Structure 1
Amino acid sequence: MPKVADRSDHERVLGSLGDAIRVRRQALGMSQEALADAAGINRTHMGEVERGRRNISFMSMVKIAKAMDAKASDIIADAGL
């Protein structure tokens, strides 16, 4: 039976994903607000995602990726997940 992820695993995964989103956004020269607007996500929510404080839905991940002209799988790979 697989081990259930503990709290520190969740924080590590969400932090890695948030970092990957922020790095890609900055490389594109986008502000956090511009990315949030393009993805149809509240800017405050976007900030929490980038800080690893928000466990986003798969659909939100897809919207964020599309707003950066990427695939969700590319961002997940960038995060090392």
Structure 2
Amino acid sequence: MRLRGIVAKNLRRLRHAKGLSQEELADRAGINRNYVGMLEREEHAATIDMLEKLAEVLEADPVAFFEASDISA
């Protein structure tokens, strides 16, 4: 799996773990909901700054976006 896919799956996993919709996450991060969807569908690659912002909202370590274990397709 490509790194973009790993980040996408972890973003979705972390968002679901917090019980947030794409719209709620986007609102809290100050970004467009469509952008969150694009990240989760691997249509766009997030910058490091964006990953830091998303991690802050999700109360997660930014490194969690890159963990490849326990990720199912």
TM-score, normalised with respect to structure 2: 0.84
Of structures 1 and 2, the one with the larger relative CO (CA 8 A, separation 6+) is: 2
Report the counterpart of residue 64 of structure 1 in structure 2: 54
Per-residue Cα deviation, 1:22-42 (whole angstroms, up to 9, x for no partner): 011111111111111111111
Structure whose alpha-carbon radius of gyration is higher: 1
- Of 61, 66, 72 in structure 2, the residue corresponding to residue 76 of structure 1 is 66
Give the aligned length: 69
Identity of aligned residues (%): 33
TM-score, normalised with respect to structure 1: 0.76
Structure 1 vs Structure 2 CA RMSD: 1.6
